[in-house]
Amino acid sequence: MGSRLLLLIFPLILNYLVEIALGGKTSSFVRSQWPSTDIPLDNQAFVEPDGYNAPQQVHITQGDYDGKAVIISWVTTSEPGSSEVLYGTKENEYNLKSQGELKNYTFFNYKSGYIHHCLVSDLEYNTKYYYKIGAGDSAREFWFQTPPDIDPDAPYKFGIIGDLGQTYNSLSTLQHYMQTGGQTVLFVGDLSYADNYEHNDGIRWDTWGRLVEPSCAYQPWIWTAGNHEIEYRPDLGEWSTHKAFLHRYATPYMASNSSSTLWYAVRRASAHIIVLSSYSPFVKYTPQWMWLRDELKRVDREKTPWLIVLMHAPIYNSNEAHYMEGESMRAVFEPWFVQYKVDIVFAGHVHAYERSYRISNINYNITSGNQYPVPDKSAPVYITVGDGGNQEGLASMFYDPQPDYSAFREASYGHSTLELKNRTHALYQWNRNDDGKHVPTDFVVFRNQYWGSSTRRRRLKKYHHRWNPNLFASFEDILV
């Protein structure tokens, strides 16, 4: 198995070696993209399920802190119907049930359907569950797989998608991801882009929910809110923010002692995932700041060695689009990211792809210190994956010359996968949608920031035998 994997990734490793030798790389690839226009409403991608009041826009997310619960959500359009979920471990045998809750909302002249959220808890790890929602001939059946136990060597594969929208490019990204074997999506914000329509057309929230259902009805999507979820429209009499998002997309925020749906944390397999809100107050003494301070102290790298942060606006970005918009959050949170040795920070917002080296700028304080980011082995890698395919098109204008902190960048649509192999190593890959084709383009072997220390590696080799160090031995000098 190890030799087969090495043969598979060898061309990508050669590309990475060239990158190391030459510094950062700006891809010269120019794609002939499909038009950045939304799919028509009558397209098959948006078709409503058969049957009166049939559940639609079905999606699930993690429902607790440790992965033994899911929140199942769906919409009915004709009448409220039941919020009950029937489920079990055998197909067509639903010997368990859970009762959910119902809500709806209006936005200007749009009235939503009936939105159901049901917490299904006390699940067994590493188990396939079948579930049924709706009634009579209109009932629909799905399934999901729970993650393995919380364990430092638990392998797991995440997909990373951002700024998806609902164009043909969006559909291409979604279909390509569904072929990767990814088990959970880390979504870094900007879902439907309904706010780009007159009066923030809520119908486009409904079509987006049907577009992504083939994936997120069967596996959790971990939600991050972006700027297109804010929907602050006082001119329409809509004075609150995130109204559609908060009604439609539940998160397990209370399980991590958060006070808001918009920032929270979950543990899944060998990962501790922290979701932040770029558009909520985060400076010192605000609720988000105080929560993150406490949550980072809760992280146990002996149990969940991979520490991953999600946000929408990138902290490091060399694209002209949204340049420096993440600077204020960087000034507040970057010292903590370095102190706690965060492995990777994923962001969206910029409609292009970019990966940084491990760098920090924590020594600059306006009046003194190095004003440029410098290499820092304790710092995260920052990755922008805002290239899902939305109607606003690609952000193709990168600053030239490429900054020293930028390792690879390209303005193309695509998605990423992060495959945690064990407590020490993970395989990361960005996949370009090349005119509808799945093209692996950027590849990195990440070494865990906590277990990557020489002392812990020696302890691991002495006492643990559940991993195969020889698998990555040939690449020890190029690990990130």
Query: What residues are labeled active site?
Result: 322
Pairwise CA distance, residues 131 & 98, whole Å: 10
> Token digits for 148?
């393995």
Pairwise CA distance, residues 423 & 47, whole Å: 43
> Token digits for 212?
């992504």
C-beta of residue 144 within 8 angstroms of C-beta of residue 70: yes
- Three-state SS for the chain is CHHHHHHHHHHHHHHHHHHHHHCCEECCCCCCCCCCCECCCCCHHHCCCCCCCCCEEEEEEECCCCCCCEEEEEEECCCCCCCEEEEECECCECCEEEECEEECCEECCEECCEEEEEEECCCCCCCEEEEEECCHHHCEEEEEECCCCCCCCCCEEEEEECCCCCEHHHHHHHHHHCCCCCCEEEECCCCCCHHHCCCCCCHHHHHHHHHHHHHHCCCEEECCCCHHHCCCEHHHCECCCCHHHHHHCCCCHHHHCCCCCCCEEEEECCEEEEECCCCCCCCCCCHHHHHHHHHHHHCCCCCCCEEEEECCCCCCCCECCCCCCCHHHHHHHHHHHHHCCCCEEEECCCCCEEEECCEECCCCCCCCCCCCCEECCCCCEEEEECCCCCCCCCCCCECCCCCCCEEEEECCCEEEEEEECCCCEEEEEEEEEECCEEEEEEEEEEECCCCCCHHHHHHHHHHCCCCCHHHCHHHCCCCC
